[in-house]
Amino acid sequence: MKKVLVTGSAGFIGSHLCEHLLEQGYHVTGIDNFDPFYRKEYKIYNHNVNLGHERYTFFEVDLKDKDLLAPAFSDVGVVIHLAGKAGVRPSIKDPKSYIDNNISVTQNILDVMKDAGIRKMLFASSSSVYGNNPDTPWSESLDVNNPISPYAFTKKACELQNHTYHHLYGMDILNLRFFTVFGPRQRPDLAIHKFIKMMYRGEPIPMFGDGSTSRDYTYVKDTVTGITGALEYIIENDNVFDTVNLGHNHPVKLIDLINAIGKATGKIPVIERKPMQPGDVNITYADIRKAKKMFGYDPKTPLEEGLKAFVEWFNENPGMLEMD
């Protein structure tokens, strides 16, 4: 089997995915540029989990620079493209950077794949493409032409780029829509990581809205198992283009999340109420029947168990508390 190339390998999901693929016996190439979206120290920490493994090769390269990419794509069978700028709120402040790192980077990857004769790709899309659609749980057949943040429109644009290259060049591609992934090594800008840090620091937790907004939190090991299922599917099948949700199908209200974090940390949360933020959605809720049918996706980790794993990891790494 040729190598699996994981872009964004020093990121939260990418580092877990590389770790899992190596455990499964794959040869893995990672690419990351340690983008300063959040502190480099976190990414180095993630990266070190896989560095030194005999079946792991790493290229520190910026995917925006197409001319530098060919060596990393040599002898690759499947590309799992996770690299990009994530986050809804920061995308409103800096949409251009989302266009550069999501849309332009995806274009570079598709072109380098075409030149290298690589025919298979999995792409990290997002639940954000569903916007504020009230028709929950969200199935992949829903219209997603009404994005409400630059982040969402860039992910939708990437899905369309992928379809174009499937049509023109016969590439097999699955767009995987992730839903608020959490667990050890979670990005520090995301609610669970941020809130746990604040709780330990004795700071109040900002609650945007009345606490009724809900998210379909998905434990990272479940997401990674889903990606691996999709990988096996795309290796075994030809003429594939599809879009698949990888969520949990169990939305949790913000107020319930805060209370669950209180239990996991053994602290009593102090809540600071704030208005809803532009671009925020009321609920995310995945219909996951398609992933189950295609490759047996079956996320099992309850929120409490995932929070416990995060808190254990956080406590084992006391330096995390000091870092923003």
130, 178, 233, 295: residue in contact with ligand NAD (rule CB under 6 A)? 178
Q: What is the CA radius of gyration of the chain?
A: 19
Helix (H) / strand (E) containing 244: strand 241-246
Distance CA 122, CA 196 (A): 32
Sign of CA dihedral 274, 284, 133, 240: positive
Q: Give the Å distances, CA to CA, from 88 to 64, 153, 278.
A: 21, 10, 9
Bridge partner residues of 125 (DSSP): 177
Map tokens 């809720």 to a residue. 285
4, 6, 11, 144: residue in contact with ligand NAD (rule CB under 6 A)? 11
Taking Cα atoms as reference points, which of 73, 79, 164 lies closest to residue 119? 79
Annotated catalytic residue within 26, 38, 42, 151: 151
Q: Does 41 bind ligand NAD (CB under 6 A)?
A: no
27, 43, 193, 290: residue in contact with ligand NAD (rule CB under 6 A)? 43
120, 156, 187, 290: residue in contact with ligand NAD (rule CB under 6 A)? 187
Distance CA 29, CA 18 (A): 8
Min. distance of Cβ 193 from ligand NAD in angstroms?
A: 10
Distance CA 304, CA 264 (A): 7
Min. distance of Cβ 76 from ligand NAD in angstroms?
A: 16
Minimal CB distance residue for ligand NAD: 11
DSSP state of 71: G
4, 5, 14, 248: residue in contact with ligand NAD (rule CB under 6 A)? 14
Contacts of 42 (CB under 8 A, 6+ apart): 185, 187, 188, 323
**Binding region for ligand NAD (CB under 6 A) out of 10-18, 202-210, 276-284, 309-317:** 10-18
**Binding region for ligand NAD (CB under 6 A) out of 3-11, 191-199, 226-234, 261-269:** 3-11
Distance CA 35, CA 48 (A): 16
Q: Does the annotation count 285 as an active-site position?
A: no
Closer Cβ to ligand NAD, 64 or 194, answer by number: 64
Closer Cβ to ligand NAD, 197 or 239, answer by number: 197
Min. distance of Cβ 268 from ligand NAD in angstroms?
A: 27
Q: Is the distance from CB of 127 to CB of 175 less than 8 angstroms?
A: no
2, 20, 34, 211: residue in contact with ligand NAD (rule CB under 6 A)? 34
Distance CA 18, CA 13 (A): 9
132: which 2 tokens?
Answer: 């504020």
Min. distance of Cβ 282 from ligand NAD in angstroms?
A: 17
5, 6, 8, 59: residue in contact with ligand NAD (rule CB under 6 A)? 8
**Which chain residues interact with ligand NAD by CB under 6 A?**
8, 10-14, 31-35, 37, 43, 62-64, 82-84, 86, 101, 105, 124, 126, 178, 180-181, 187
Indicate which residues carry an active-site annotation.
151
